[in-house]
Amino acid sequence: KQEVTQIPAALSVPEGENLVLNCSFTDSAIYNLQWFRQDPGKGLTSLLLIQSSQREQTSGRLNASLDKSSGRSTLYIAASQPGDSATYLCAVRPLLRYSTLTFGKGTMLLVSP
Amino acid sequence: GAGVSQSPSNKVTEKGKDVELRCDPISGHTALYWYRQSLGQGLEFLIYFQGNSAPDKSGLPSDRFSAERTGGSVSTLTIQRTQQEDSAVYLCASSLNFVEQFFGPGTRLTVL
Write the pLDDT tens digit of every residue in A31-84.
899 999 999 878 899 999 999 999 999 999 999 999 999 999 999 999 999 999
A108 vs B: CB within 8 A: no
Choose the closest CB to A98 out of B41, B59, B98: B98
DSSP label of A83: G
Q: How far is CA A5 from CA A44, A90, B46, B51, in A?
A: 18, 8, 20, 32
Confidence of residue B11 (pLDDT cuts 50, 70, 90): very high
pLDDT at residue B62 in the model: 94
| Averaged pLDDT, B86-100 | 88
Residue-by-residue DSSP string for chain B: --S-EEE-SEEEE-TT--EEEEEEPPTT--EEEEEEE-TTS-EEEEEEEETTSPPB-TT--STTEEEEESTTS-EEEEE-S--GGG-EEEEEEEESSSS--EE---EEEEE-
Q: Tell me if B104 and A34 make a contact (CB, 8 A cut-off).
A: no
